[in-house]
Amino acid sequence: MTSIRIRSAGSADPALIDDLVAANRILYDQGVVDAFGHISARHDKDPNRYLLSRSMAPALVTAADIMEFDLDSNPVDAHGRTTYLERFIHGEIYKIRPDVKAVVHSHSLGVLPFANTAIRLRPMNHMAGFLGSGPPVFEIRDTAGPESDMLIRNGGLGQALAKVLGSNHVLLMRGHGSVAAGQSIRHVVFRAIYTEVNARTAAEALKLGKPIFLNAREAAAAMKTNDAQIDRPWSLWKQQATRT
């Protein structure tokens, strides 16, 4: 663990923390994360800080588990808590994408056929318009060589991954999983869920024949419509995931 002392940006908006905790539970409830995977949000008081749980299963996260990090992914307030090995995914994306306010990393299985083959993941229906003409695939061997454990465990790998993401909303990781980026926690949760749903339906369609996907204009228009209605699925998913 690092011994660097970094000043805190102060308390985040409690509503932002509430959404981040709910998002952890929703992503588990919807089958996007299991014991692994994580979601972060940019700090509302300082764009050079982000918020992410300590290392634990997302479905168990509470407000007390949320930690603050700088964009090099050093914890500001570790207090002996352990951090996710792959937190660099988040910090390095926030560095180069000022428009991004939340990031999800998951290992959901539906995307892997598209991460591990040359078949591009393209939008099957309007809910997945954010996929555009298909997410890029990050090949860790291009940066780490042939002997990595596949994890984004340092800033250099995170930087390489963020560069491949570029201006896209989703990135696939060969042999590993995916990343979604968005302008809010609600938007990124929507994208993470529909990336997985779209991957499953696209795989089915590819078995039948040659699917017709949304073209770039349809995808962009559908994304704009869905982005404006983000609170509707959020309230449903939140109620489902947080009911006792």
Q: Give me the helices (H) in the chain, please.
A: 14-29, 88-96, 112-115, 141-144, 155-165, 185-208, 216-227, 231-242
Beta-carbon contacts of residue 193 (< 8 Å; ≥ 6 apart): 26, 27, 30, 32, 233, 237
* Residue in 68, 86, 92, 196 annotated catalytic: 86
Within 8 A by CB and 6+ apart from 83, the residues are 1, 52, 54, 55, 67, 69, 73, 75
Instruction: Verify whether residue 68 is a known catalytic residue.
Output: no
> In the beta sheet, which residues pair with residue 75?
69
Catalytic residues: 86
